[in-house]
Amino acid sequence: MTLLIKGGTIVTAADTYQADILIKDGKIALIGADLEADGAEIVDATGKLVMPGGIDVHTHMELPFFTTVSSDDFYTGQRAAAFGGTTCHIDFANQQKGETLHEALAGWRAKAADKTVIDYGAHISITDLRDDVYDEIDSMLDEGITTLKLFLSYKDMYMLDDGSIFKIMLKAAKLGMLVMVHAENGDVVDTLIKQNVANGNLAPIYHALSHPAWSEAEATLRAVSLAQVAGASLYVVHMTCEESVDQMTYGRKHGLPVMGETCPQYLFATTDNLRQPDGAKWIFSPPVREKKDNAYLWKALADGRLQTVATDHCPFLFDGTTPITYDGEVYESPGKDSGGDDFSKVPNGTHGIEDRLPMLWTYGVGAGHFSPNRFVELMATNPAKIFGLYPQKGTIAPDSDADIVIWDPEATKTIHWQTQHTRTDHNIYEGMDLRGLPEKVFLRGKLLVDGDEWFGVKGEGKFVKRRPFAEIV
Ligand SMILES: [Zn+2]
């Protein structure tokens, strides 16, 4: 199949220019002025921007959490992604205690199986470092998995001690794998949660008060320091505040290969949201911070202190007692209210895979924080580079996958959960206005989304194998 995108303005991380794009067999074949191709299907992109599809490197589809499971499965979550202009994501295969890494990966792949509609990869989370698991790490490379997620938090659940973390980092350095960390001090968080619960401090705001910013700062600098000693590259997920970004910046100033991500919720939400009657919607970890942190993170994205925006997409219903209708089918699942009035029992997580690009365009580019090129860099190019997918994905160049978003910078809408495609019953950006939306979304040259219309086919999303020794940006 041959496709010719004509008349658009191509935006990459480096350039903005007018050109046509010829697509053959799912790849970009040629870029140039006034291209012609016999028999090609023509897509008119006049007046529109043409950008690489978004890559969300931090998602949790169908993740078991407390008594429930995150409400987007691989189909509904990937479809939501596509409607938001994202054509590739990397999800986490989490090792359960007693499991091997291969068992964890097989279980995760079985869930994705034939539901996929965009391309996807996996990180492996190591939560139980036995000798056999340590020996197994090398073989993850054969599966196309180059990233190891480690938790400094979630004591007695996922958390590893510093010795285990350091051992894994030493091995990762040798194999060219990237270590990703959830950086909060698990002992501090665990102690504060227990004290607050014991004292009857159960309201959602105590979630934030049990996860202080300086505990994130401590864990961030500890991870940076351990990575320095091990000679490993490090990627800190979901950074929320000035205190922790400062610690990472300290590492980068010393020339260390350390990088950081933030997520939309940390750019928009604050502890005021937790104090609302429906505050449980904003319970995720690390927690929301303050207005000054929102502002600090916007600056850090603009000036290069932070390298990516991902989402930690992990939605739940809010009111799990009332089923919703999704795609004509009734969907029911215990929601955030299953935690009752106790913040410590509320499933942690929120949505974002569909909201990420339009929110960051409207409030990032539109508000003058950064350029369209920096937007592409944060949303697609840096994620592809850091995670070993570049230049197959993350840019518009000859031989790259034709994962393309035709973006209408003038299109507007207001966010309402009913018209978003994530399978949940609320949206934490409810009522916010957007200017700049995906108009058409292509995965390897195949049309997935055209306005409100859906053309994706279940099973057509491909698992992407990634390469080690990826770029540091
Ligand atoms: Zn996560």
| Sequence ranges of the domains in the chain | 2-51+395-410+432-454, 54-386
For residue 249, report the distance from its CA to the centre of ligand 1, in Å: 22
Cα of 32 vs centre of ligand 1, distance in Å, is: 40
Coil/strand/helix, residue 359: helix
Ligand 1 centre to CA of 220 (Å) is 16
- Write out pLDDT tens, residues 452-466: 999 999 999 999 999
Which among 438, 421, 427, 426 is positioned nearest to 85, based on CA atoms? 438
Please list all protein residues whose beta carbon sits less than 5 angstroms from ligand 1, which is an ion.
Answer: 312
**Residues of the chain falling short of pLDDT 50:** none
Is CATH 3.20.20.140 the classification given to domain 54-386?
yes
- Burial of 159 from C-beta contacts in 10 A (0-12 / 13-18 / 19+): buried
CA distance 334 to 323: 10
Listed residue (239, 350, 223, 363) closest to 296, CA to CA = 239
Structure tokens at 139: 């073989």
Cα distance between residue 93 and residue 149, in whole Å: 9
CA gyration radius for the chain? 21
* 14, 96, 219 from 129: Cα distances, Å: 41, 11, 19
Question: How high is the pLDDT of residue 274?
Answer: 98
Enclosing H/E stretch for 247: helix 242-253
**DSSP letter at 166?**
H
* Cα(136) to centroid(ligand 1), Å: 23
First to last CA, the chain: 35
Distance from Cα 60 to the centre of ligand 1, integer Å: 7
312 alpha carbon – ligand 1 mean position (Å): 5
DSSP label at residue 469:
S
pTM: 0.98
Q: 């994962």: which residue's tokens?
A: 403
Return d(Cα 211, Cα 217) in angstroms, integer: 11
Contact 68, 316 (CB under 8 A): yes
What CATH architecture applies to the domain 2-51+395-410+432-454? Roll (2.30)
CA of 363 to the centre of ligand 1 (A): 23
Model confidence over 381-413: pLDDT tens digits? 999 999 999 999 999 999 999 999 999 999 999
Q: For residue 309, how far is its CA from the centre of ligand 1 (angstroms)?
A: 13
